[in-house]
Amino acid sequence: MACTTESVAEALRAVASVVAEHRVELIELDRAIGDADHGENLNRGFTAVVAAIETVPETPGAVLKTAATTLISKVGGAAGPLYGTAFLRAATKLGDRSEVDAEAVAELLAAALEGVRARGKAEVGDATMVDALAPAVEAARGAVADGVAAVLTAAADAADRGAESTVDLVPRKGRASYLGERAVGHLDPGARSTALVLRALAEAAK
């Protein structure tokens, strides 16, 4: 089954509610290795996204684009440009099509990953969002035959494992990189939030 504009908007509302629910957890993860603003910033951003799509734009791509510009203008920090770029590239990938099928979902996740890589100049193994998003994209591609919900569930499962893998890594990007070896043993807040967002999308698609 393909997603309509309204179901994309509904999925973003679900993301906002999951982010709000995990605000303190993300703050705590960030407090250990960064500056404790990740949960606060994402919550501020997705709260603004929900308000911005109150009048739902006409296409799924337009919904994602509204989310992108809202995140860029409300989140700040590193997460604003990174999440904003991810949503913007996903929106661009969708163009003006009216429905999103499983293949398109996998494609837009890949586009989001490329955007985050380009903006953050990070690769797998640097202990960032990319460690969750890259395996998610690969898993999503493998599940295209099974529909949208399966694609997103596979992506969320892979993102969870990818985020967990950051615990053993020495961060090389972002504020955690200043700790070097001392950050080993900590879950990267950006990878964790990426996994949470994908899980929220997967649950919404069920």
| Binding flag, residue 12, another protein (CB under 8 A) | no
Residue 57, SS3?
coil
- Is residue 77 within 8 A of residue 37, CB to CB? The reply is yes
| Binding flag, residue 36, another protein (CB under 8 A) | yes
Nearest approach in angstroms of CB 169 to another protein is 13
| Binding flag, residue 173, another protein (CB under 8 A) | yes
| Binding flag, residue 188, another protein (CB under 8 A) | no
Q: Which of 27, 104, 110, 129 binds another protein (CB under 8 A)?
A: 27
Say what the alpha-carbon torsion angle 83, 74, 38, 128 is, to the nearest 10 degrees: 20
Q: Which residue in 87, 22, 17, 21 sits closest to 46, CA to CA? A: 17
Integer Cα distance of 148 and 105 in angstroms: 7
| Binding flag, residue 98, another protein (CB under 8 A) | no
| Binding flag, residue 179, another protein (CB under 8 A) | yes
| Binding flag, residue 177, another protein (CB under 8 A) | yes
* Token representation of residue 6: 């309204």
Nearest approach in angstroms of CB 53 to another protein is 19
Amino acid at 141: R
Size of the site for another protein (CB under 8 A): 32
Q: Which of 21, 58, 73, 146 binds another protein (CB under 8 A)?
A: 73
